Structure 1
Amino acid sequence: MPARTASISRDTRETQIQVSINLDGSGRSELDTGVPFFDHMLDQVARHGLIDLSIKAVGDLHIDAHHTVEDVGITLGQALDKALGDKRGVRRYGHAYVPLDEALARVVVDLSGRPGLTYNVEFPRSMIGTFDVDLLSEFFHGLVNHARITLHIDSLRGVNAHHVAETCFKAFGRALRAAVEMDPRAADAMPSTKGSL
């Protein structure tokens, strides 16, 4: 099986980003976005998705973290799309429920080739430390639009904002791991009746 890896760079007036991904990794990560809480969330995706992930971002953080977080989502989405190739032999669908103390999230993913995000996450407060929770939906929008995946994220309960965010990212990692996994029964088959994804 060819290596399912990709490296993507994005260079704009607002951000300079390099992303490398290995879908068949062991969960290693090297993350430096300049936004520590965001790095912590991305680490959950790598660890629970068993994806090796390297992200280096330099952004206009003197304004705020918006451009950095959104553009990391865009670049990671492009890398995921490239690493998946034509998607032959993958399971395609994945889902996960993840608890963290009082918080519980459900994430469902389809490597559909059609970008779509349903994001039902309510936070008990607007900031986690200095991190604006509104940026998490911006990250996922950027990711699904460029990875061309369908993603449903539902926070089912939670009173601690950090726990709510972390369950969503852990569940995303777990669901993505299931979806990108090679299906030994599918051989080289395309997981679609259309013949392409």
Structure 2
Amino acid sequence: MSRKCSYSRETRETRVEINLDIDSRGDIVISTPIPFFNHMLTTMFSYMNSTVSLVAIDKNPFDDHHIVEDVAIVVGEALDRCLGDRVGIKRYGFVVIPMDDALVLVSIDISGRGGAYIELNLRRESIGGLAIENVYHFIETLANRAGITIHVKQLNGVNTHHIIEAVFKGLGMTIYEATRIVEPGFVRSTKGVLDG
């Protein structure tokens, strides 16, 4: 089985398109105007064991906010579409990622109820064209659009690059784990649905 989807969004500020296959490990092609964001998205999708093509164009390049927000919207919407009715998925994912000095916990619930709860101590204002505040904004927007509860907690670390990269690795690994089909036809919820 392969869960594939495409999604695009165009506003006066940006144009973002994605083609995503969450069940096939393949090429990862990421193009945004933010170098470090490209690195983190590539990392996340790589650890999701996915195939993806994502292109984001900034029509009004004032800063990185609009691109980060709209990419998060598009990734979240695409993931939601790939999952469909969420029948049979494991639902939960949890990992603690070490990366040199950094140690980060990521835990998710594909519940249909989006929410992000983030505890990070990041010391830089930006890295590679990405404002640190937009790391939080990306996770929050992704959570809301995909209907996923995401908890991120920094347990150790001082190097901003290492901490953020551990976060995106953790997101990829937990999304992969939680989206696996483990009980076909069964909804892991006492409500009988995972739609929020």
Give TM-score scaled by structure 2 length: 0.95
Moved more, 53-62 or 165-174: 53-62
Q: Is the 8 A contact 1:28 1:46 kept in 2?
A: no
Deviations 1:32-88 (A, max 9, x none): 011110010011111111121211000146300100001100110000000001111
Tell me which residue corresponds to 1:192.
Answer: 189
CA distance in 1, matches of 2:128, 2:23: 33
- In the alignment, residue 113 of structure 2 is paired with which amino acid? R
1:103 CA drift (Å) = 0.3
How do 1:1-197 residues align onto structure 2 when only pairs under 5 Å count? 1=1, 3-26=2-25, 28-60=27-59, 62-183=61-182, 186-197=183-194
Aligned-residue offset at 1:168: 0.3
Gaps of 5+ in 1: none
Unaligned runs of 5+ in 2: none
- Return closer, same or farther for 1:27/1:174 CA change in 2, 3 Å cut-off: farther
The CA deviation at 1:130 is: 3.2
Q: RMSD of the alignment, in Å? A: 1.2
1:112 CA drift (Å):
0.2
Deviates more, 1:105-114 or 1:23-32: 23-32
Between the aligned residues of both structures, percent identity stands at 39
Runs of 4+ aligned structure 1 residues displaced above 3 Å come to none
